[in-house]
Structure 1
Amino acid sequence: MDRIVLILIAILLDLLFGDPYSWPHPVKFMGNYIYYYLDRFEDSTLSYKKQFLRGVYLWVSLCCITMGILSIIFIISKQIHPYLSNLIAIYCYYSSFSVRSLAREAKKVQQALLKEGIVAGRQQVSMIVGRETHHLSEDEVIQATIETVAENTSDGFVAPLIYSLLGGPYLTMLYKMINTLDSMVAYKNERFNYLGRFSAKVDDIFNYIPARVSAILIIIASFLCRYSWRKAWEILKRDCYRHASPNAGFPEAAAAGALRIRLGGGHYYHGVYVDKPWIGDDDNRIVIEDISKIINLLYCIAALIFVVLFMISYLKGALS
């Protein structure tokens, strides 16, 4: 079956169901291996060079395991029935997309703020961000949610989509592995500064193009949703590099401009205050409704891509 058709099915499944918590998920298995490796081989007494090498070994070993298991699954499934391998490919794509799940988690923060107040909002946003949340104001909780949705528009949808189109389920799972390692060990702190450095650099490389594509898609979606697309373009050009990450600033800058709000600023991470520049202008005071707006942009991008891929698939079928 055509790869685009399989990806379209996966997008539709993601939009309909998201990631049910009880379902098996490749990222869970990857995470379990990372915990196992750290438990066995992490050693802070080693030299920086040896810690870095252990980080490389972690990356290489997880890559070999991921690609090896996936190869075995596809070899066996193709021998059983060709359609079974198609179903497995669909699941690989489906499990890599997180549009509905991302929107659901953002909505939970919004509902917690509206129904239970700031304490519940802080607790809920702590589930999706790495910063400390116990001292955040309501505005900062909303800001953290918007930043997470904007950044994960790239990491959780656009990037895996691009790699799915380019390399099928193998490249899709490779990207999810890279993204999982980045989220678990690529921290600039005493524990992971060297061990996680290789994973962080690889993640930067793989997200370079998707982050920029995501920013353009946010601008297009801003136009379709009748938000401030001109401001999104202006802030993207001005503030895209005002972020510690070489990539995250792109979708965040576009989102900040689209909503005419200010993102970024300093926050506490693991007890340490990290001062970061502001992204965007505070033309509007940030409000709870802005969470709905960033979710609208996320869904608009997913719908736009679905329509484009459907048209491409239809034209390929018509011309063949």
Structure 2
Amino acid sequence: MIEVIIAYILDLILGDPQGYPHPVRIIGEFVSFLEEKLRRIYKGTEGEKKAGIILCVTVVLLTYGVVYALLFVISILGKYAVMAVSIFLIYTALATRSLDVEVRKVYKSLKDGDIDAARKHLSMIVSRETDRLDEKDIARAAIETVAENINDGIVAPIMYAVIGGAPLVLAYKAVSTLDSMVGYKNEKYINFGWASAKLDDILNFIPARITGMLIPVAAWLLGYDGKSSFRIMLRDRLKHDSPNSAHGEAAVAGALGIKLGGTNYYFGRPENKPILGEGKKDIKAEHIIDAIKIMYITSLISLLFFLLVRFFIMI
């Protein structure tokens, strides 16, 4: 699929599109709007769960339908117009370059010795509290962000784009947006966000495991410890409450010989994350760059992998 290839290249060159309405931001605004309306109607435990299901189904189906309808209307202008719009929409769903840019700001601040700036940049890309983190914990958080988003922001979107084009990949991003906004297990969202969190788990089940298999290959190609990456991934991949999120983190931890996980603070409360990896090396700022390199090679391998799978299925 030429659209996916071009969208991937555009993402590497341009990064996150700025200066105009981003599809994911529009989805996020709609989620907030609909959440407010539904909470006025549905009360109590069962009501919140029902409202969450309505929210999830409405946002995902509407996203798919709007994108499909848009491409159908654009088809009046010809196949190249459809291709151009599809490329743009798929491009907005990928996050390789933008993740590099945002995480590298944290790295640069650490290397400059500006801990406050590093905490500020980190706070823009993580949900945990950053004001009490030291240099090691800042680097750990940045690496964990890269490792987890290799699946959520790269591998899974590529897979769904290859399978179903722009409508399916934007529907996936809608689920991912829902999970990031309402998929928390706190008092406010434990019931309301149940459906969104479950659907996110389902849609990431296969790509997360593919990510866990591809990262060791990328690590090996780059000269990191690919064997340890694969071993640690198999050993630690199910340690998180989420059935998917530890695959990438464990693989990166094994590749770099570090430990990820530990105590994080969310909304003023400590939360102990499982330890992933063996910690043969102390985490340093340079490991952030190592994780970024692994991310880029994993993204390329995943693109080739899914295109080859599609090719062999179609012949």
Paired residue for 1:6, among 3, 6, 9? Answer: 3
Distance 1:239-1:26 versus aligned 2 partners, 3 A rule: same
**Aligned with 1:266: secondary structure?**
strand
- Alignment match, 1:166: 163
What CA distance in whole angstroms lies between the structure 1 residues aligned with 2:216 and 2:305?
16
Paired residue for 2:48, among 46, 51, 58? Answer: 51
Structure 1: gaps spanning 5 or more residues:
none
Corresponding letter in the other structure for 1:164: A
- Alignment match, 2:137: 140
- 1:225 has 2:201 as partner: no
Paired residue for 2:254, among 233, 257, 262? Answer: 257
Does the 8 Å CA contact 2:64/2:168 hold for their aligned counterparts?
A: no
**Aligned with 1:277: secondary structure?**
strand
Shift of 1:312: 8.3
**Aligned with 2:85: secondary structure?**
helix
Alignment of 1:174-189 (within 5 A): 174-189=171-186
Distance 1:261-1:76 versus aligned 2 partners, 3 A rule: same
What CA distance in whole angstroms lies between the structure 2 residues aligned with 1:311 and 1:164?
14
Shift of 1:271: 1.2
Q: TM-score when scaled to structure 2? A: 0.94
What CA distance in whole angstroms lies between the structure 2 residues aligned with 1:292 and 1:36?
38
What CA distance in whole angstroms lies between the structure 1 residues aligned with 2:238 and 2:75?
46
- Alignment match, 1:24: 21
Paired residue for 1:195, among 192, 197, 201? Answer: 192
- Alignment match, 1:155: 152
Distance 1:190-1:312 versus aligned 2 partners, 3 A rule: closer
What CA distance in whole angstroms lies between the structure 2 residues aligned with 1:47 and 1:238?
40
Alignment of 1:167-316 (within 5 A): 167-306=164-303
- 1:118 has 2:115 as partner: yes
Paired residue for 1:82, among 79, 91, 94? Answer: 79
Does the 8 Å CA contact 1:8/1:309 hold for their aligned counterparts?
A: no
What CA distance in whole angstroms lies between the structure 2 residues aligned with 1:309 and 1:238?
25
Q: Deviations over 1:222-269 (max 9, x none)?
A: 100000111111211211111121101111000000000000112111
Shift of 1:300: 1.1
What CA distance in whole angstroms lies between the structure 2 residues aligned with 1:94 and 1:45?
37
What CA distance in whole angstroms lies between the structure 2 residues aligned with 1:287 and 1:34?
38
What CA distance in whole angstroms lies between the structure 2 residues aligned with 1:227 and 1:100?
22
Distance 1:80-1:110 versus aligned 2 partners, 3 A rule: same
**Aligned with 2:124: secondary structure?**
coil
Corresponding letter in the other structure for 1:115: D
What is the RMSD of the two structures over their aligned residues, measured on CA atoms?
A: 2.1
**Aligned with 2:273: secondary structure?**
coil
Paired residue for 1:128, among 122, 125, 147? Answer: 125
What CA distance in whole angstroms lies between the structure 2 residues aligned with 1:71 and 1:124?
36
Does the 8 Å CA contact 1:261/1:283 hold for their aligned counterparts?
A: yes
- Alignment match, 2:59: 62
Distance 1:309-1:38 versus aligned 2 partners, 3 A rule: closer
- 1:96 has 2:93 as partner: yes
Q: Deviations over 1:267-319 (max 9, x none)?
A: 11111111222111110010000000000001112233455678889x89xxx
Does the 8 Å CA contact 1:44/1:51 hold for their aligned counterparts?
A: no
What CA distance in whole angstroms lies between the structure 1 residues aligned with 2:306 and 2:43?
50
Distance 1:62-1:278 versus aligned 2 partners, 3 A rule: same
- How many residue pairs end up in the alignment? 314
Does the 8 Å CA contact 1:218/1:297 hold for their aligned counterparts?
A: yes
Corresponding letter in the other structure for 1:283: K
What CA distance in whole angstroms lies between the structure 2 residues aligned with 1:44 and 1:106?
40
Work out the percentage of aligned pairs sharing the same amino acid: 37
Greater Cα offset, 104-113 or 19-28: 19-28
What CA distance in whole angstroms lies between the structure 1 residues aligned with 2:20 and 2:69?
21
